[in-house]
Amino acid sequence: MGLFDKFKEITKKVSEVEDNIYHEKRDYLEIYERNLQLEKEIAERTKDLNVANKRMFTLQHIWDMMNSSTPLENVLEAIVNSTQGELGYMHCSIIRKYNDENGDYLHIIAQSEDGLIDRLNNIIGSPAIQTRRLTYSPESIFADTMRQQTIIQSKAINLSLKSILPEVPDETIMAVVTNQPVKSIIVVPLYTQKKEFGWFCVFSSREELAASEMDFLGLFAKQIEMAITIADLFQAVREQAVTDALTGLYNRRYFEEAIEKEVQRTKRIKQPFSIIGIDLDYLKRINDTYGHTFGDIAIKTIADVLKKNARSVDVPARIGGEEFNVLLPGVGSDGAMIAAERIRKSIENAEIDTIGHITGSLGVATYLEHSDNIEEVLELTDQAMYTSKRNGRNRVTLAQNINETSWQEIAVNTFLDILSKNRIPKAKHLSKELCLKLQAPANKDEVSKESLYTVADMLTKLYNPMHSSGVIKNKVLMAVSLAKRFDLSKADIDNLRIAVLLYDIGNLMLPDELLQKATPLTDEEREKIKNHPIIAAREILKPISYIQDVLPIIEHHHENWDGSGYPNKISKEEIPITSQIILIIDEYFALIEQRPYRNKMSGKDALEIIKADSGKKWNDTLVKEFISLIEHDIV
């Protein structure tokens, strides 16, 4: 091979090497460029992931707050501050739409704490924007978002501010937006339970709104809506727990709690307070003549009168049925009588379609003036109210001072006498324990009715193991409510209370196997059981001198209206109304309680049995009033 050929071959090999180096270099460059692109994409994805994680963390934090007892305003503040601080917005706020007699308007209910809002407040001056009544314009971005039901972004920040602050000069608005990093405003409509609520507003340093950002703001809006809905539901439940569904007044439970607080306050400052009791006159006549719908309208009319005449510190309440009470903190009897007369006149002047005018009977009693025992004050209020009713209705009566022994004290002394003297051998082993329960209060004027109910329950369990604690208390409350419907005097009602505690005490003298027998009774066994009213009245209670007025009630509590009862087979008006009240209540509770010889019945089935015996075991009027009492659940 010549020199030229060798040179040619070497040149060829060099070219091949150069080609290989070039191609490898190009491959390396492509790989390098791909790596750079991947690193860039990884950085972007990491940034997106960090943003997403931050958003999810924020949402989780808000969700945790919503599921705790955190107040709504704190949740909303957390939302706007989280959105502004953690997610890079310049300012965030939640605006609510309101309506009053002057039309629609807006109000800021939550906003983030940042320099932008401070600058805005400094420029526009006092009052600050969060305390202003903001204008709602149908041509604004806010109205547009509601109409379109979508998120809207606008770069015209000055126009958006001008729409809600039309009274602020244009140059002031321009001063707010000039030399600021804010590039756009994003407005998100808010709805709660499919109704317009307001807007979630975000001031952004970005001119464009990415799709992912819009999705996130929509998700945040749902969290706001859910927080507001939960708060609204919680408030509704709380109101239902303390208010009467028909009238919107406070219920018995809330009134009793308010009374307890007022008693404690009065003990500290030695300032009296008064209670007004109101009873709608002739409700039964209204129901019978026009129907129960108009009866409810009459009840609501009195409620409206009480609301209009109440001070902010007063507590008007529906106690049950047609009965109302008003607590007047810091008011003596003179002021309470003036307030009660004003209420009476307002009730009388109210006119109802179809019915015409209604009236009410009112009673007034004052804590510290009439008694320093709140139970007595409440009873005196009731008594004064029913005195108004007995004296012709549509009037106000002031209570009389307590000058007699309370029914609780009589009942306690009766139980102590029975137990300490072992008048009931079966209760001998419990006597000491029960006496201690009754003697527990240091002050006899503070004798606890609960102790009386507890002792009566424990004695009842001795002859009826299936007896449930609390039944005696329910019987007493039911008997008193029923007695008031017949305008009984305070003395009669007090005797009835004592009789309910004692009417079955004669059963403690009968054999257990007889009372708890699961098979039908023989005639002889039935006659023995029929003796328990006589045993109670004549053997156990007769030796106790101060209980004599109660004995006829107990002795006749098994007499039937048609004369078929026992022990004396008297009938109709010969039977004390208080005895008839005990009979019907005793029958009702016996039917709804478990017995050795039968299962308990439902309240509805028990009432059907009582209806079937109307005119036989008890008079028709008593049956109607009792059924009305049960159905209205006023005890």
Q: How would you write 150-212 as a 3-class SS string?
A: CCEEECCHHHHHHHHCCCCCHHHHHHHHCCCCCCEEEEEEEEECCEEEEEEEEEECCCCCCHH
Q: For the residues 69-80, what does the mean pLDDT come to?
A: 70
Q: Which residue has the higher pLDDT, 282 or 74?
A: 282
Strand-pairing partners, residue 190, are 198
Give the separation between CA 363 and CA 387, rounded to whole angstroms: 8
- pLDDT at position 443 is 46
Whether residue 129 is predicted with pLDDT greater than 60 in this model: the reply is yes
Inside any domain, residue 14: no
- pLDDT at position 326 is 97
Give the separation between CA 497 and CA 473, rounded to whole angstroms: 10
* Number of Cβ within a 10 Å radius of residue 141: 22
Lowest-confidence segment of 25-39, 130-144, 599-613 by average pLDDT: 25-39
Q: Which residue has the higher pLDDT, 40 or 417?
A: 417
Whether residue 237 is predicted with pLDDT greater than 90 in this model: the reply is no
The tens digit of pLDDT for each residue in 332-355 reads 999 999 999 999 999 999 999 999
Give the separation between CA 337 and CA 362, rounded to whole angstroms: 10
Answer yes or no: do 504 and 556 share one domain. Answer: yes
Inside any domain, residue 217: no
Query: With b meaning 16 or more CB within 10 Å and e meaning fewer, what string describes 164-196?
Result: bbeebeeebbeebbeebebebbbbbbbbbeeee
Q: For the residues 41-56, what does the mean pLDDT come to?
A: 58
Whether residue 165 is predicted with pLDDT greater than 50 in this model: the reply is yes
Whether residue 86 is predicted with pLDDT greater than 70 in this model: the reply is no
Answer yes or no: do 389 and 494 share one domain. Answer: no
Q: For the residues 131-141, what does the mean pLDDT come to?
A: 89
Residue 136 CB partners (closer than 8 Å, separation 6+): 97, 103, 104, 105, 106, 142, 143, 164
Whether residue 538 is predicted with pLDDT greater than 90 in this model: the reply is no
Answer yes or no: do 441 and 377 share one domain. Answer: no
Q: Which residue has the higher pLDDT, 275 or 428?
A: 275
Inside any domain, residue 154: yes
Inside any domain, residue 32: no
- pLDDT at position 45 is 60
- pLDDT at position 434 is 83
Structural domain count, the chain? 3
Q: Which of 343, 346, 349 is nearest to 364 (CA)?
A: 343
Q: Which residue has the higher pLDDT, 272 or 2?
A: 272
Total number of residues shown for the chain: 635
Q: Which residue has the higher pLDDT, 316 or 196?
A: 316
CATH number of residue 596's parent domain: 1.10.3210.10
Give the separation between CA 604 and CA 592, rounded to whole angstroms: 9
- pLDDT at position 446 is 44
Answer yes or no: do 293 and 372 share one domain. Answer: yes
DSSP-based three-state secondary structure for 558: coil
- pLDDT at position 317 is 95
Q: How many helices (H) and strands (E) does the chain have?
A: 24, 13
Q: Which residue has the higher pLDDT, 314 or 379?
A: 314
Q: Which domain holds residue 568?
A: 407-632
Lowest-confidence segment of 21-35, 73-87, 88-102, 129-143 by average pLDDT: 21-35
Over the chain, what is the mean pLDDT?
A: 82
Give the separation between CA 296 and CA 157, rounded to whole angstroms: 54
Q: For the residues 106-110, what does the mean pLDDT come to?
A: 88
Residue 320 CB partners (closer than 8 Å, separation 6+): 252, 481, 632, 633, 634, 635
Q: Do you find a cis peptide bond into 127, omega within 30 degrees of 0?
A: yes
CATH number of residue 356's parent domain: 3.30.70.270
The tens digit of pLDDT for each residue in 435-480 reads 887 875 544 444 467 888 888 888 888 878 778 888 999 999 999 9
397, containing H or E segment: strand 396-398
* β 195-204/273-280 pair status: unpaired
Residue 514 CB partners (closer than 8 Å, separation 6+): 521, 525, 528, 529
Contact 399, 414 (CB under 8 A): no
* Per-residue confidence band for 634, with pLDDT thresholds at 50, 70 and 90: very low
- pLDDT at position 579 is 93
Half-sphere exposure of 109 (CA within 13 A, CB side): 19
| DSSP letter, residue 391 | T
Answer yes or no: do 453 and 508 share one domain. Answer: yes
* Per-residue confidence band for 27, with pLDDT thresholds at 50, 70 and 90: low
Query: With b meaning 16 or more CB within 10 Å and e meaning fewer, what string describes 18-27?
Result: eeeeeeeeee
- The token pair at 180 is 């600021």
Give the separation between CA 136 and CA 527, rounded to whole angstroms: 83
Q: Which residue has the tokens 């002394």?
A: 413
Give the separation between CA 518 and CA 231, rounded to whole angstroms: 54
Give the separation between CA 77 and CA 112, rounded to whole angstroms: 7
Give the separation between CA 81 and CA 4, rounded to whole angstroms: 84
Contact 168, 124 (CB under 8 A): yes
Give the separation between CA 249 and CA 245, rounded to whole angstroms: 8
Q: Do you find a cis peptide bond into 465, omega within 30 degrees of 0?
A: no
Residue 530 CB partners (closer than 8 Å, separation 6+): 558, 566, 567
Residue 460 CB partners (closer than 8 Å, separation 6+): 467, 471, 472, 504
Q: For the residues 275-298, what does the mean pLDDT come to?
A: 92
- The token pair at 199 is 């807007």
DSSP-based three-state secondary structure for 350: coil
Whether residue 358 is predicted with pLDDT greater than 90 in this model: the reply is yes
Answer yes or no: do 622 and 506 share one domain. Answer: yes
Q: Which of 174, 171, 144, 172 is nearest to 158 (CA)?
A: 174
- The token pair at 517 is 């027998």
Domain boundary (148, 182, 211) is at 211
Answer yes or no: do 514 and 583 share one domain. Answer: yes
Answer yes or no: do 436 and 363 share one domain. Answer: no
Inside any domain, residue 172: yes
Domain boundary (345, 365, 398) is at 398
- pLDDT at position 445 is 43
Q: Which residue has the higher pLDDT, 41 or 200?
A: 200
Which CA distances in Å does 619 have to 285, 294, 333, 572, 631? 18, 26, 40, 8, 19
Whether residue 4 is predicted with pLDDT greater than 70 in this model: the reply is no
- pLDDT at position 442 is 43
Whether residue 518 is predicted with pLDDT greater than 50 in this model: the reply is yes
Answer yes or no: do 382 and 416 share one domain. Answer: no
Whether residue 405 is predicted with pLDDT greater than 70 in this model: the reply is no
Q: Which of 595, 601, 592, 355 is nearest to 478 (CA)?
A: 592
* Per-residue confidence band for 89, with pLDDT thresholds at 50, 70 and 90: confident
Inside any domain, residue 177: yes
Q: For the residues 615-623, what does the mean pLDDT come to?
A: 91
Give the separation between CA 249 and CA 348, rounded to whole angstroms: 20
Q: Which residue has the higher pLDDT, 277 or 380?
A: 277
Lowest-confidence segment of 62-71, 226-235, 376-385 by average pLDDT: 62-71
Domain boundary (151, 186, 211) is at 211
Whether residue 577 is predicted with pLDDT greater than 90 in this model: the reply is yes
* Per-residue confidence band for 18, with pLDDT thresholds at 50, 70 and 90: low
In 329-381, at which residue ranges do the beta strands (DSSP E only) sit? 351-352, 356-357, 360-367
Which CA distances in Å does 422 have to 68, 500, 503, 567, 574? 57, 21, 18, 26, 34
Give the separation between CA 92 and CA 113, rounded to whole angstroms: 9
Answer yes or no: do 441 and 341 share one domain. Answer: no
Inside any domain, residue 227: no
Query: With b meaning 16 or more CB within 10 Å and e meaning fewer, what string describes 315-343?
Result: bbbbbbbbbbbbbbbebbbeebbebbeeb
Whether residue 153 is predicted with pLDDT greater than 60 in this model: the reply is yes
Which CA distances in Å does 466 have to 478, 521, 526, 595? 21, 19, 20, 7
- pLDDT at position 215 is 78
Rg of the chain, C-alpha, whole Å: 40
Question: Percent of the chain beyond pLDDT 90?
Answer: 31
Contact 485, 395 (CB under 8 A): no
Answer yes or no: do 257 and 196 share one domain. Answer: no
Give the separation between CA 142 and CA 486, rounded to whole angstroms: 62
Answer yes or no: do 383 and 415 share one domain. Answer: no
Whether residue 134 is predicted with pLDDT greater than 60 in this model: the reply is yes
Inside any domain, residue 373: yes
Q: For the residues 174-201, what does the mean pLDDT come to?
A: 86
